[in-house]
Structure 1
Amino acid sequence: MKITIVGGSKGTGAQLAALAQAAGHEVTVVSRSGNAPAGVHAVTGDAADPAVAARAVAGADAVVVTVGGAKGVSRQRTAVTESVIGAMQKAGVHRLLVQSSLGAGDSGSQMPAPLRLVMQAVLAKALADHNKQEAAVQSSGLEWTIVRPTGLTDKEPTGTWKALTTGDGGRLGGSIPRRDLAACMLGLLTDDSSVGKALGVSS
């Protein structure tokens, strides 16, 4: 599979790029820094620029968006995601996986109550950006999946995780190692049952 990862120079995106490349996929990473794991094709640029987004998604079978916020930039996640969606629609690329955050959309009910209060207070601006990002994804007409992780850590992966929609019921834990989240996301890319779903993910 040809996979483009937008925001894959570090964090979960870089972990996903390394796992996908090791699994035999052809991986392209687009980022402003131009950094990418060994063996992965790098595209340098801001994917909020439609020309950069078009170059990044050309020929892809699937696109993953893992961008974070940027200092001094309002709604960075939304801007990048909207640009990528537009490029995918023009190029005829259909499969989209987007990393959001637990607390976005209707996922507050999946969080432990103390964590929910902290998220709402400390991450209000980030969650507002994720809400707009998710709205763009859900109205895109693409074959989308949204992943909403709990707190991300650099701990050793456990190889296990919980992935729940709000309709599944149940609560999620407070954190997940980035490499476990990346492994979960790689599996979801080829899981047709995840299309059109937003999944909260934790250890």
Structure 2
Amino acid sequence: MKITIIGGSQGTGAHLATLAHQAGHEVTTVSRSGVTPAGTRVVVGNACDASIVTEAIAGADAVVVTVGGAKGVRNHRAAVTQAVVAAMAKTATRRIVVQSSLGAGDSAKQLPAFLRPVMKVLLAKPLADHNAQETTVTSSGLDWTFVRPTGLTNKPATGSWKALEVTSKERLGGSIPRADLAACLLEILEDDSTIGKAMGVSA
């Protein structure tokens, strides 16, 4: 599979790029710095620039968006996602997986009860950004999946995680290693049964 990762130079995206490459996929990342994991192709530029993103997505089978916020930029995730959706329309690429956050949409109920008020107050701006990001994708007509992790850590991968739809009565934990989230993203990317679903994920 040809995969383009928007936000693949660091964090979860870099872990995903490495795992996908090791699994035999052809990986392209978009990076302002030009940094990319070994064995992957990089398109250098601003991920808010639709022309840069179009170059990176051309010929891809799927796109994964793992960008975070940017200092001094309001709703950076949503702006990047708008550029991605525009580029996908030009290139006729349909499959998109977006790393959002637990608490976005109607997923707050999946959090442990003690974390809900904390998330609502401390993460109000990032969650508003994620909500705008998700709205852009759901209105695009693309084959989407949202992956909403709990708190992210840099701990070593455990090789296991819990991925639940919002309709599940189970609750998720408080965190997940980025390396495990990347493995979950790759698994979901390869599973067409997750299209149109939002998955909460934790360790």
TM-score after normalising by structure 1: 0.98
1:119-172 CA deviation, whole Å, 9 max, x = no partner?
A: 111111000000000111111101100000000111111111111111122100
4+ residue runs over 6 A deviation: none
- Structure 2: distance between partners of 1:5 and 1:169: 32
**Aligned counterpart, 1:70:** 70
- Structure 2: distance between partners of 1:95 and 1:182: 17
**Aligned counterpart, 1:181:** 181
The secondary structure found in structure 2 opposite 1:97 is strand
- Structure 2: distance between partners of 1:56 and 1:147: 22
Question: Aligned-pair distance for 1:10?
Answer: 0.4
Deviates more, 1:41-50 or 1:62-71: 41-50
Aligned ranges for residues 57-96 of structure 1 at < 5 Å?
Answer: 57-96=57-96
Listed as ranges, the gaps of 5+ residues in structure 1 are none
**Aligned counterpart, 2:30:** 30
The answer to whether the aligner puts 1:149 opposite 2:157 as a matched pair is no
Listed as ranges, the gaps of 5+ residues in structure 2 are none
TM-score after normalising by structure 2: 0.98
1:97-127 CA deviation, whole Å, 9 max, x = no partner?
A: 0000001100000001221111111111000
- Structure 2: distance between partners of 1:173 and 1:67: 23
RMSD: 0.7
Question: Aligned-pair distance for 1:90?
Answer: 1.2
How many residue pairs get matched?
Answer: 203
The secondary structure found in structure 2 opposite 1:141 is coil
- Structure 2: distance between partners of 1:123 and 1:7: 20
**Aligned counterpart, 2:44:** 44
- Structure 1: distance between partners of 2:108 and 2:147: 14
The secondary structure found in structure 1 opposite 2:131 is helix
Question: Aligned-pair distance for 1:31?
Answer: 1.7
